[in-house]
Amino acid sequence: MREYGSSRARAIPPSGIRKFFDLLLTMEDVVSLGVGEPDFETPWNVAEAGIYAIEQGHTSYTSNKGLLPLRQAVSKDLHRRYGLAYDPEEEILITSGVSEAADIAIRALVDPGDEVLVAEPSYVSYSPCVTLAGGKPVPVSCNEKDEFRLTPECLMEKVTRKSRVLVMNFPNNPTGGIMGSDEINAIADVVVDHDLLVISDEVYSELTYEGSHVAVASHPELRDRTVTMNGFSKAYSMTGWRIGYLCAPRQISELALKIHQYVMLCAPIMGQMAAIEALRNGEEDKNAMVREYRHRRNFFVEGLNSIGLPCHLPRGAFYAFPSVAGTGLSDQEFAERLLTEQKVAVVPGSVFGETGRDHLMCAYAVSREDLGTALKRMEAFLSGIGRS
Amino acid sequence: MDEKDHEILHLLEENGRLPLRELATSLALPEDQVEERIRAMEEARIIRKFTAVVDWERAGNSRVSAIIDLKIAPERDFGYDKIAERLARFRQVKALYLVSGVYDLQLLVTGKDMNEVSRFVSEQIAPMDHIRETATHIIMKIYKENGNPFFEREGGERLPITI
């Protein structure tokens, strides 16, 4: 039979968690640590601003770039928090979440045949977007011994003459690894020497638990070769509102804008209006959520280590990434058996790239009770396989 | 008081029964230090009491509460303090505030039924010296108390697994 569909669409892999998803739907009483979104509702003042927007009849398209007051607020916020300077008129584009931003940034920068370096373990959408753009994703390992940071050595190993773009995401999903200014300085030389552009997904920036987040574009030599992406989903618990943004020097943001206007037109207006409220009056709720994540992290990571699943301390995001190397099971086997035998859902690390092998992604954006239950069940599972 | 003390307070305010061990790991502090900090804050009366937020209606033991507004003739040298302290001693008075506006003091009073509350107000409170006027507002339904909503509502459901 003739094969329908484009070769690019056929080339991208199906979701690595489909199997688990289907299995989960048939089960009851599962504690899922596989949910990559906050468990808090959107702060009420923010939600209320969205409701008010609808009541007032704000149900139309906005400018392709997004509402100017939102772009202005984003610009001020990025400056205040991370010392970034982006012109709200020309360099900021409001998108339907960072997912859209990543897609259009990649399409704006990648030609067929270009190699795109993707720092792994990584969120699962970057490489497929590269493939869809005709580029070739090239994984760059971020290793546990470096606390999952991106190092110039690992980057150098994969750079070729065809390398065009580096995609990175810190604080990282799924490892919780972060990059401080020293680490960014260290990779900046490689980026500049090889004339790479950087796409930096910083959607977890506000979920940084030790010290403060360092934006890649705050490095003076990287500023003009970086696309900074961020959004409201994680910091303000607004995943369903689909509001993110992309910031880049004009030359790049204009390209992204062209793609955005054809594929998305604009981000939803009520979400944009809610996002303005989040930036104006969301700080306290955000801080309370961050504090709670930090407490849960400490509790959960200490628990993982004490039941015999070694886990580095994730300094950002809300993921723990323990190793199962000592259990005699692969990450896939471990996750499948843990789900069927003890009803705890985690995601095998290999879903996030080869470097993630022998690890588990555990999102701790669930209640303390659930974290406690999950730890007990994981401990029971480990003793069942003779490892604790 | 430092940042860690504030974090302890936030956690305990949300859940006063959080086990010491969990509190300690959450804050990355040794258990004995957390215990000592809590003791010190109790001693300094920063932590006034550990208590439960009870929905008495659900407990099948419905009680009646009322907000009572009082106009007071302040006393020379004491202002409102003396009368307020006398009022506060009644077991029935659950909360007492000096407020701005038309009235001076606001009380939260509970009793087993409407009769008991109104008797308490008319026989104990109203006749006291310096009280010039009372206004009683019976609480008909509690929607939220101590930061806790009392109504049920369907929350959104997250997908079981997303990455």
Where does a domain end: A282, A315, A350? A282
Ramachandran area for residue A211 (φ above 0: left; ψ -120 to 50: alpha; else beta): left
Domain with CATH 3.30.70.920 in chain B: 64-141
Residue spans of beta strands (DSSP E) within chain A: 31-32, 92-95, 115-120, 136-141, 163-169, 197-201, 226-231, 244-247, 319-320, 344-345, 347-348, 360-363
Main-chain dihedrals φ then ψ at residue B67, nearest 5 degrees: -95, 125
Q: B129 CB near a chain A CB, below 8 Å?
A: no
- Residues A134, A178 within the same domain: yes
Q: Does A388 score more than 60 pLDDT?
A: no
Distance CA B75, CA B73 (A): 6
Task: Point out the domain boundary residue: A282, A309, A340.
Answer: A282
On whether both A261 and A293 belong to a single domain, the answer is no
Question: Taking CB atoms and an 8 Å limit, are B163 and A21 in contact across chains?
Answer: no
A66 touches chain B (CB under 8 A): no
For residue A283, what pLDDT is reported? 96
Strand partners, A74: none
Number of DSSP helices (H) and strands (E) in chain A, helices first: 13, 12
Q: Which residue has the higher pLDDT, B61 or A244?
A: A244
The alpha carbon dihedral of B15, B42, B110, B132 has a sign of: negative
Residue B108 phi, psi dihedral angles, 5° rounding: -110, 120
Lowest mean pLDDT among A170-174, A209-213, B159-163: B159-163
Q: Same domain for A157 and A267?
A: yes
CB atoms within 10 A of CB A34: 28
Inter-chain touch B161–A34, beta carbons under 8 Å: yes
Between β-strands A226-231 and A197-201, what pairing exists: parallel, antiparallel or unpaired?
parallel
Which tens digit of pLDDT belongs to each residue from B145-154? 888 888 877 7
Q: How many whole angstroms separate alpha carbon B98 and alpha carbon B80?
A: 8
Do A320 and A351 lie in a common domain?
A: yes
Same-domain check for residues A235 and A295: no
* 3-class secondary-structure state, position A228: strand
A304 to chain B, any CB pair closer than 8 A? The answer is: no
Counting one residue from chain A and one from chain B, the pairs whose CB atoms sit within 8 A come to 59
Residues in B closer than 8 angstroms to A291, CB to CB, are: 7, 10
Whether A226 and A332 map to the same domain: the answer is no
- Average pLDDT of A56-60? 97
3-state SS, residue A174: coil
- The residues facing B98 across adjacent strands are B105
Mean pLDDT in residue range A29-47: 95
pLDDT classification of A1: cutoffs 50, 70, 90: low
Nearest CA-CA distance, residue A68 and chain B, Å: 31
- CB contacts of B10 in chain A (<8 Å) are 288, 291
* B160/A345 touch (CB, cutoff 8 Å), yes or no: yes
Model pLDDT, residue B157: 81
Distance from A181 to chain B by nearest Cα, in Å?
25
Tell me the mean pLDDT in the region B93-102: 96
Interchain pair A173, B163: CB under 8 A: yes
Q: Both tokens of residue B82?
A: 């003396």
**Residue of A172, A242, A331, A368 to mutate, testing the B interface (most B Cβ within 10 Å of its Cβ):** A368
The string of pLDDT tens digits covering residues A168-194 is 999 999 999 999 999 999 999 999 999
ipTM of the complex: 0.76
Query: In chain A, which residue's Cα lies nearest the Cα of B8?
Result: A295
pLDDT tens figures, A76-135: 999 999 999 999 999 999 999 999 999 999 999 999 999 999 999 999 999 999 999 999
Provide the pLDDT for residue B72. Answer: 95
Element (H, E) at A350: none
A34 touches chain B (CB under 8 A): yes
pLDDT of B162 reads 85
Min Cα distance B131 → chain A (Å) is: 40
| Total of domains in chain A | 2
Closest residue to B27, CB basis, from A24, A298, A351: A298
Secondary-structure class of domain B3-43 per CATH: mainly alpha
- Whole-number pLDDT of residue A387: 58
State percent of chain A over pLDDT 70. 99
Tell me how long chain B is. Answer: 163
A55, part of any domain: no
Cβ neighbours of A367 (radius 10 Å): 13
Element (H, E) at A380: helix A368-384
Kind of pairing between the strands at A319-320 and A344-345: unpaired
Q: What is the pLDDT of residue B155?
A: 75
Residue A310 and residue A316: Cα distance in Å, rounded? 18
Residue A106 pairs in a beta bridge with none
**Domain around A242:** 60-282
* Mutation target among A35, A126, A346, A364 for the B interface, most CBs of B within 10 A: A35
Residues of chain A found within 8 Å of residue B22, distances taken between Cβ atoms = 299, 368, 372
* Residue A109 identity (one-letter amino acid): L
Looking at the structure, do residues A78 and A203 belong to the same domain, yes or no? yes
pLDDT of residue A11: 92
Residue A110 lies in a domain: yes
Q: What is the pLDDT of residue A156?
A: 97
List residues bridging with A344 in a β-sheet: A31
pTM (predicted TM-score): 0.90
What pLDDT shows up at residue A150?
98
* Largest Cα span, chain B: 68
**CATH fold group of domain B64-141:** Alpha-Beta Plaits (3.30.70)
Q: Which of A224, A248, A282 is the last residue of a domain?
A: A282
Residues A186 and A134 reside in one and the same domain:
yes
Instruction: Please report, for chain B, how many H helices and E strands are present, in that order.
Output: 5, 6
- Residue A345, SS3? strand
For chain A, the residue count is 388
Query: Which CATH number is A32's domain given?
Result: 3.90.1150.10
B 86-105 residues with CB < 8 A to A: none
Return d(Cα A76, Cα A87) in angstroms, integer: 10
Q: Please, what is the angle between helix A368-384 and helix A331-342, to 10°?
A: 110
Percent above pLDDT 90 for chain A = 94
CB contact at 8 A, A244 and A203: yes
| Chain region(s) in chain B for CATH 1.10.10.10 | 3-43
Predicted local confidence at residue B24, as pLDDT: 95
CB–CB contact B25 A302 (8 Å):
yes
Contact flag A17-B163 (C-beta cutoff 8 Å): yes
pLDDT confidence band for A155 (50 / 70 / 90): very high
Cα distances from B47 to residues B10, B21, B37, in angstroms, run: 11, 19, 11
pLDDT score recorded for residue B45: 96
DSSP codes joined into one string, A283-333: HHHHHHHHHHHHHHHHHHHHHHHHHT-------BTTEE--B-GGGTS-HHH
**Does A1 map to a domain?**
no
Tell me if chain B has a CB within 8 Å of the CB of A370: no
Q: Which residues contact A302 (CB under 8 A, 6 or more apart)?
A: B25
Strand partners, B111: B64
Q: Does residue B156 have a pLDDT over 80?
A: no
pLDDT at B19: 92
E strands of B6-150, at which residues?
Answer: 64-72, 93-98, 105-111, 131-138, 144-145, 148-149
CB contact under 8 A, A35 and B156: no
Residues A271 and A232 in one domain: yes
Question: Could you tell me the CATH number of the domain that includes residue A124?
Answer: 3.40.640.10
